[in-house]
Structure 1
């Protein structure tokens, strides 16, 4: 029994890990939010569910009142119409109760706004500039001033070539979301993002992070995120900016701090070389992890 429990536990862990990796992008026929990758987005999930419960209860209550009134005061059940013009208690209740409901909703709403707007002590700064129709990223921290690149959506031909050359699947390189360069950041690190635009108004939006802020020419807006899980997360420009508005995605690759240190050191001289080193390192670690899991399963099965 212990062996079976170990095997099922390992299998469950692998499935769960795969679920997290696949949760970095929208899914076909998805109805709700993408899984949260930050504390802010987790609160957004909670607040959404919280308000859904409240509005569902209010809707059902109003529906019950309507049904009651239709039945109770129908011509058949109430042939003589009431002459009542007002009821003080009812008027007090339907004034006070909505106020209390709105206060209950407002308190966590203000807390969420505070979390999104008040930037905590940050560990690194990246400037994101929107253009028609791509994003430019500049690493502002000391020693990283020369690291800058543009991220352009992969065409279908480039996407197919990338999958063939690197042995990737369609899920690894999602259509209309994958870019030739990703913003690379370390996990569990507070990142300040300075957002602006070089031509017209754009918007930097990353659903899994709970981030959305306008990119306005001549103005520097600021937002932040702290990703809690590694993976590649996708967003898009969320402000109508021209004919290719739908084709300027945002890709943020969250890696371990050790992986980021390797990438950052190489990126100071060559971003392409840094990306190649990062991809090789991630692939090597995945192979090692898979081999370790297979060895553990083999030992568990033999016991």
Structure 2
């Protein structure tokens, strides 16, 4: 019955935002979320179902077998060694099986591939700041879109923002997450991410979007009176569209390379000027060493 009732909701699942009437996780838009869904559906749900049915069966058996009518003379034993061993060892085995798959998933979250770009995310009361150091895009502030404007654009109110984080599709995006005042949290369900933004500390996570589109998230750490008005909007676009957006923000796709080239040129110039400076110092030192010998001759 639950499966039949869920079929209409599953048929109209929305990508990157909540589905009205949905009962499952949001559809995945990155490898990490695919792995998280697999872990939930293939490992956790069967274990949960098994434990629930086992406990339910034991309860029914105890109620039927050991009620006063079926068992008028109660037993006087206080424990059973075999039962105690089973209910101690079985949970340990179950937890070990879960841990094996859980550690592998945690490793995938930590083992970030070589990033293609970096976005610094700063949580404020109550908005988000985004900065692209690799492209030279300075920090800009993203606020929640007002209700009338959200309705006019036909976008979800309290999820849409006036300025979105824009990233290219198929690229590894590294997020450097921090906060300026209190603890916030970056939650991006379609990418399977939830990372705290802590003042004075920088946390790191990553994602690689599989397809273009708009994906929504929110602050998931209670951070004050306007906590519910801190949406995160991510626009995943093509590389050409991303380059055009970077240019519109005053940045450059080669900003990082240009900065490295300038630093290398400055270092090379400093290296070339060092021998000249050393030679000049040597000449000055030689001149200074000959002056005391000439002075006595002049005195004579």
Band of TM-score, shorter chain: 0.7 to 0.9
Name stretches of at least 5 consecutive residues in structure 1 with no aligned partner.
Answer: 1-17, 164-169, 271-303
Query: How do residues 187-226 of structure 1 correspond to structure 2 at under 5 angstroms?
Result: 187-226=169-208
Structure 1 pair 84–152 and aligned structure 2 pair: CA distance change class (3 A): same
After the TM superposition, which of the residue ranges 218-227 and 85-94 deviates more from structure 2? 85-94
Which one of 23, 43, 50 corresponds to residue 31 of structure 1?
A: 23
Superposition deviation, residue 19 in structure 1 = 6.1
Structure 1 pair 19–70 and aligned structure 2 pair: CA distance change class (3 A): closer
Which one of 201, 204, 219 corresponds to residue 237 of structure 1?
A: 219
SS at match of 2:137: coil
Tell me which stretches of 4 or more aligned residues in structure 1 moved more than 4 Å: none
Which one of 147, 152, 157 corresponds to residue 148 of structure 2?
A: 157
Give the TM-score normalised by the residue count of structure 2. Answer: 0.75
Superposition deviation, residue 59 in structure 1 = 1.3
After the TM superposition, which of the residue ranges 39-48 and 99-108 deviates more from structure 2? 39-48
Superposition deviation, residue 91 in structure 1 = 2.0
Superposition deviation, residue 180 in structure 1 = 1.1
SS at match of 1:110: helix
Partners of 1:62 and 1:269 lie apart in 2 by 60
Aligned position for 2:166? 184
Task: Provide, for residues 18-49 of structure 1, a one-character-per-residue CA deviation record: whole Å limited to 9, x for no partner.
Answer: 968x4121122333221111111112212222
SS at match of 1:157: helix
Aligned position for 1:46? 38
Partners of 1:198 and 1:76 lie apart in 2 by 67
Partners of 1:78 and 1:177 lie apart in 2 by 60
Tell me if 1:55 matches 2:37.
Answer: no
8 Å CA contact retained: 2:129, 2:139: yes
Query: How do residues 47-126 of structure 1 correspond to structure 2 at under 5 angstroms?
Result: 47-49=39-41, 50-126=43-119
Structure 1 pair 157–88 and aligned structure 2 pair: CA distance change class (3 A): closer
Q: Provide the aligned length of Structure 1 versus Structure 2.
A: 241
Structure 1 pair 75–210 and aligned structure 2 pair: CA distance change class (3 A): same
Superposition deviation, residue 200 in structure 1 = 1.7
Task: Provide, for residues 127-179 of structure 1, a one-character-per-residue CA deviation record: whole Å limited to 9, x for no partner.
Answer: 011111111100011xx113432111111233345x2xxxxxx2xx1111111
Task: Provide, for residues 54-106 of structure 1, a one-character-per-residue CA deviation record: whole Å limited to 9, x for no partner.
Answer: 11111111111121122122222222222333332222222211111111111
SS at match of 2:88: helix
SS at match of 2:178: strand
SS at match of 1:24: coil
SS at match of 1:42: helix
Structure 1 pair 83–205 and aligned structure 2 pair: CA distance change class (3 A): same
Structure 1 pair 159–55 and aligned structure 2 pair: CA distance change class (3 A): closer
8 Å CA contact retained: 2:16, 2:189: no
Task: Provide, for residues 185-230 of structure 1, a one-character-per-residue CA deviation record: whole Å limited to 9, x for no partner.
Answer: 0111111101111222111111111111111122111111111121
